[in-house]
Amino acid sequence: MTDVIENPAEQKLAAATAWWKTSIVDIKPGIINFNGYPIEQLIGRIGFVEMVWHMLRGELPTPWQARLLEAAMVAAVDHGPQAPSISIARMTSTCGVGINNAMASGINALGDVHGGAGQQCLQLYDRLLAEGGAEDPAKVTESLRTILSESRLIPGFGHRFHPVDPRSKPLMELIRQAAAEGAVAGRHLKVALQVEESLKEIKGKLIPMNIDGATAAIYGELGFDGEEARGLFILSRSVGILAHAREQMRQGGRIKGPMPTSIPYTYTGKPRRDLER
């Protein structure tokens, strides 16, 4: 039986206390505990990636969990100024704003098309695994044919810039090592490789796995869902966004657009005309 609080002041206090509920952090004057661990015991004793895991999971990672997570996050830090998230941060930093505005502008460009493929690929892997794809490669091929009939792209495979993404091989090799030592189950690894094989069968040529396909396999092996995978990618890419925004601030320049002013763009509108009224 729940006690009824009749005192109005106590009712307000109880309502205020219940407004936000969190199992992540307990903060009182002089006390900051993360999932029970005092912050003073974590500082200098665990790494940043271990803290990321701890914040999401509530426990500290095993060595392999930390190693895989760190590898995935290191791999996705930057992809040059041709990446919209990076170029937008650089452009914004020439407009007289602070570092927070420049970073937020770049991060806000990370959507379903630019930045969402890892989440989409992990969701694909999970779907294929639920359909029994890890045990029956034919089911993977059948599912991919259906997807390709509705869309031209399979997220996580192929790259518009790299013939072969140099980041995918070392990431997949790490998963293989972790699976061989029993640190992860290897199911996402298996289905990821099967997708690559099935695409080769369907397309008649190799469509190499890219970083999104490889990191999706890592995040799946580590038990993260699609939303968490996207969030971790954004956290990783924000480091590159910070570096590029700060570099551009040091280089200087005012209101730099996506291309130099000396390069003409293509105008496709109406020719010059006079207003008749």
The one-digit pLDDT tens for each residue of the chain (277 residues) are 556 667 899 999 999 889 999 999 999 999 999 999 999 999 999 999 999 999 999 999 999 999 999 999 999 999 999 999 999 999 999 999 999 999 999 999 999 999 999 999 999 999 999 998 878 899 999 999 999 998 878 999 988 888 899 999 999 999 999 999 999 999 999 999 999 999 999 999 999 999 999 999 999 999 999 999 999 999 999 999 999 999 999 999 999 988 888 888 898 999 999 999 8
In a domain, 201, yes or no: yes
Domain extent at residue 231: 113-247
Q: Judge contact between 81 and 87, C-beta under 8 A.
A: yes
Taking the CA atoms of 34, 185, 141 and 202 in sequence, report the sign of the dihedral they define: positive
How many CB atoms sit inside 10 A of residue 185's CB?
14
Note whether residue 158 is domain-resident. Answer: yes
Tokens of 24: 């992540």
Is residue 253 assigned to a domain?
A: no
* Domain count within the chain: 1
Angle at which helix 226-251 crosses helix 211-221, to 10 degrees, equals 130
- What is the pLDDT, as a whole number, of residue 263? 85
Tell me the CATH number at 230: 1.10.230.10
What pTM value is reported for the model? 0.92
Pair 165, 110: CB distance under 8 Å: no
